[in-house]
């Protein structure tokens, strides 16, 4: 079962440290690092750590796009860049070493031309084969069509593809108009998906099961931050808590969670194991500093902790 990830709004992630965050002063940064970022890009990187073969598709523009591609090549990630006119965006995060607080600055993405969207569709049609997994992950910039993921899902209709979607906001609400294999909303997003502002625990479970019964998704995984996550499927609800660890950074944790679940899905594991691997990989990434993702050693450590 081949795996393809697509990131239409990737980012060149830059992280740094400062000795103290002070307003209106020039602050000296150190420990500068660059990483290739964005939903599907991060998922492909963690799948590589898990020794799972996959193809990483991403839009790429300007020098930042070229830098992102070079970083992926250094990690030996099988890839296909999709050239676009607009430069790939940059994100920036900085850790105040005095307080150990992390500050994250997300830059807006750019739009896509009709020609560029058509190119993405053609590449998806070429790269996504029968009985494969297609991961559509990451935000859509405000300049992209809200139904872009819907268009791509329709592009592979008839190929018996397991579609995994991890996005947010209006794009998520639009995308679930098409049936998919797995979605991963957080608690607030789940509430909005059923037209509410807040849901109790029982209401969250009922809402997730409602989406399953409506065939919106085979699996609905609801992330609950530091408290773990639960998974809803035709077999019912399962929960998994996160282990007690020192969190250094949450950047990429959600993407890493998706990578762990893709790993389990490819192996036809049970819903309990799918959720377990998601929590394992998401937790392992929080043990890394800055924009670094889960390492093989940290994944093994989390597996040892949760049993």
Pair of tokens at residue 247: 């969190």
Catalytic residue among 13, 96, 125, 255: 255
Q: What's 225's DSSP letter?
A: G
Q: Which is nearest to 168 in space by CA: 134, 151, 191?
A: 191
Residue 253, exposed/middle/buried by CB under 10 A (0-12, 13-18, 19+)?
Answer: buried
Contacts of 106 (CB under 8 A, 6+ apart): 11, 91
CA 63 from chain centre, in angstroms, equals 24
Could you give the residue ranges of the DSSP H alpha helices within 111-186?
A: 114-127, 148-155, 169-175
96 catalytic residue (yes or no): no
Angle CA 207–266–232, to nearest 5: 15
Residue entry with tokens 């420990």? 31
Which residues are catalytically annotated?
255
């Amino acid at each position: 079962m081949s795996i393809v990830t697509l990131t239409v709004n990737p980012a060149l992630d830059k992280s740094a440290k400062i000795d103290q965050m002070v307003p209106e002063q020039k602050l000296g940064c150190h420990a500068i690092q660059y990483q290739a970022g964005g939903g599907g890009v991060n998922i492909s990187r963690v799948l590589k750590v898990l020794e799972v073969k996959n193809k990483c598709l991403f839009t790429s523009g300007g020098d930042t796009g070229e830098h992102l591609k070079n970083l992926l090549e250094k990690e030996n990630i099988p890839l296909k860049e999709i050239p676009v006119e607009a430069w790939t965006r940059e994100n920036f995060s900085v850790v105040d070493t005095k307080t150990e607080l992390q500050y994250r600055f997300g830059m807006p993405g750019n739009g896509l031309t009709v020609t560029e969207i058509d190119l993405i569709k053609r590449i998806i049609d070429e790269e996504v084969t029968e009985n494969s997994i297609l991961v559509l992950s990451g935000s859509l910039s405000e300049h992209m069509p809200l139904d872009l993921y819907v268009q791509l899902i329709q592009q592979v209709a008839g190929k018996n593809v397991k579609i995994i979607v991890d996005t947010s906001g209006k794009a998520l609400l639009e995308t679930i108009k098409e049936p998919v294999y797995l979605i991963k909303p957080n608690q607030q997003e789940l509430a909005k998906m059923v037209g509410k502002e807040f849901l109790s625990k029982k209401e969250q479970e009922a809402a997730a099961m409602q989406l399953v019964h409506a065939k919106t998704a085979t699996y609905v995984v609801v992330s609950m931050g530091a408290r773990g996550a639960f998974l809803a499927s035709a077999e019912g609800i399962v929960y998994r808590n996160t282990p007690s660890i020192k969190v250094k950074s949450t950047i990429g944790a959600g993407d890493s969670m998706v990578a762990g679940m893709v790993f389990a899905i490819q192996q036809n594991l049970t819903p309990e194991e799918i959720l377990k691997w998601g929590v394992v990989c998401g937790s392992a990434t929080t043990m890394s500093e800055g924009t670094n993702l889960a390492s093989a050693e940290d994944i093994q450590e989390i597996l040892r902790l949760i049993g």
